[in-house]
Amino acid sequence: MKILFISHNSPSRSKHFGGTEHLYKEIIDAASSANIDFFEMTPEIGSKQITWQIRNIKGRVWELKQPRLSTEPYFFGNHQYSNWMSEFLVNNRIDLVHIFHQMWTPLSTIPIAQNLGITTVTTIHDFSHICDSFNLLDENSTYCKILEQKNSNKCSSCACKRGSSTERLTLLRAAYFKIFEKVDVVTVGTHFSKTHLINFYNLEPSKILIIPPKVTTNISVKTKVPKTILILGNFTIPKGAKLSLELMKNVQLKDFAFIQAGRIDHDFISELKSLDNSRDKTSILGQYSLGEIPNITASIAFFGSIWPETYCIAASEALEMGLKIVVPEIGAFIDRFKGMENIFFYEPENLESAIASILIADNFSYVEVHLPEDPLYSSEILKLYIQLGSRKLTSGNFHSEFNSWETSNINMLGFHNNDSNFLDPSRPSLVKVFIARSKSVGWFQALADAFSYIMRKLN
């Protein structure tokens, strides 16, 4: 069986490591020991160009270079990409395409593969299918609450202030509507992610498979020191860096020690170093490798995420370590941890609520629990590949110039050059979007889509 596995970042060639890279590596390692011919595709992002690279286990490389001007993290593709991808899939007789992370991968990839009769899988880790602000943070870096409000009136002004546009947002969602319509299986980590996909896109529930990630740290905190808070994971705005800094400076928590472990965004390095030097009970450890958390002493792990995480692997690490965890009552945190022992919730982005939960957690006696022995994430993914089986390609009539509405999303959405149109002031109108939809799905479906869009706007 031949698999093309696509992601935004290669764990073997990047220091920018997180949960998706950890799972990526696990899948690659598992595939190498199975009877699977695995091809990996990741981008190299330069200041002036982007290069897509496909590698097989023997080290052979296929690549396509395009000017950076015509590419942004979520864009629709063009004829050159369609031709290159189609030729690769056909010539290498790929059986299944799995887009593990969509960032920097043209949205035309699933339609290209499906048009060739190839089985497709996509995995959802964030909200790039709803907005080009993938964690749904608005122009003020706060959660926009679009999941609760559906199509918020705020979207238009927020998109413009972020340098995007209403038209681009509409096209993005139209493209994902088409992707979800075509793809064979969508994998997610939680019921929360499955629910929002069903609600937002009317996605068929049977098409969505929940595969929870599993992390084994092999580390336990042998000495659980009271009044010691571990801030675990990437120290960034979406992960609640500002709230964490407020906690570390708060007089109500002056008797607490803080330990930071995880990659630190450049904007926060100097402030954390200053805290480390001025506060006796602060320890800044910085980045660690997943599954290799420094052997530390703590009693509580705090998570300050200001967006509705779709899973949060770092929280799993903290539970593996035997810590009490304090998490915001939002997104997958509710789905995963409601009703569990050693879990304490607070109101998102609320300092006083977070402090109150920390104080409650500190006075709470840790309850020894045994986490369930779930199967490895990679074993469930490989099982899915086998279940889907292979579809034989019929490549006899393949032409070097691939030019069909179904193959290129750039054509499907009504464009004929490339998506650099999105960088120009003269952006496509919603009428053009409607016409493009009618060409790809027919007038009746386009009218139905337009009616649904208008009703969502009115609501």
SS (H, E, C) 51-104: EEEEEECCCCEEEEEEEHHHCCCCCCCCHHHHHHHHHHHHHCCCCEEEECCCCC
Per-residue tokens: 198:
């069903």
Residue with tokens 């692997």: 313
Asked whether the beta carbons of 221 and 168 are under 8 A apart, the reply is: no
For residue range 39-87, list pLDDT tens digits in order: 999 998 888 888 999 999 888 999 999 887 656 776 777 778 888 898 8
Taking the C-alpha atoms of residue 412 and residue 152, their distance in angstroms, rounded to an integer, is 26
Dihedral (Cα; 73, 74, 80, 84), 10-degree rounding:
80
443-447 long-range contacts (CB < 8 A, ≥24 apart) are none
Taking the C-alpha atoms of residue 326 and residue 360, their distance in angstroms, rounded to an integer, is 10
Asked whether the beta carbons of 340 and 318 are under 8 A apart, the reply is: no
pLDDT tens digits, the chain, 459 residues: what are they?
899 999 988 776 655 556 788 788 889 888 877 778 899 999 988 888 889 999 998 889 999 998 876 567 767 777 788 888 988 998 999 999 999 998 888 888 998 888 888 999 999 999 999 988 999 999 999 999 888 876 567 888 888 888 887 777 888 888 888 889 889 999 999 999 999 999 888 889 999 999 998 876 666 665 678 899 999 989 999 999 999 999 999 999 999 999 999 889 999 999 998 888 888 888 888 887 655 666 678 999 999 999 999 999 889 888 888 899 999 999 999 999 999 999 999 999 999 999 999 999 999 998 987 777 778 899 999 999 989 975 444 433 333 333 333 334 444 443 333 433 333 333 444 565 565 555 445 677 667 767 766 665 566
pTM: 0.82
Q: Which CATH architecture has domain 228-363?
A: 3-Layer(aba) Sandwich (3.40)
Dihedral (Cα; 450, 453, 454, 456), 10-degree rounding:
160
Q: Which of 359, 369, 343 is nearest to 226 (CA)?
A: 359
Q: What is the CA radius of gyration of the chain?
A: 23
Complete edge-to-edge strand list for the sheet that includes strand 208-210: 61-67, 49-56, 37-45, 2-6, 96-99, 119-123, 185-188, 208-210
Fold of 2-214+379-458: Rossmann fold (3.40.50)
Neighbours of 431 (CB within 10 A): 9
Taking the C-alpha atoms of residue 142 and residue 147, their distance in angstroms, rounded to an integer, is 14
Asked whether the beta carbons of 316 and 214 are under 8 A apart, the reply is: yes
Residue with tokens 């546009």: 165
Q: How many residues does the chain have?
A: 459
Q: Where in the chain is the domain with CATH 3.40.50.2000?
A: 2-214+379-458, 228-363
Whole-angstrom CA distances from 117 to 158, 302, 385, 406 are: 39, 47, 16, 12
State the pLDDT at residue 245.
95
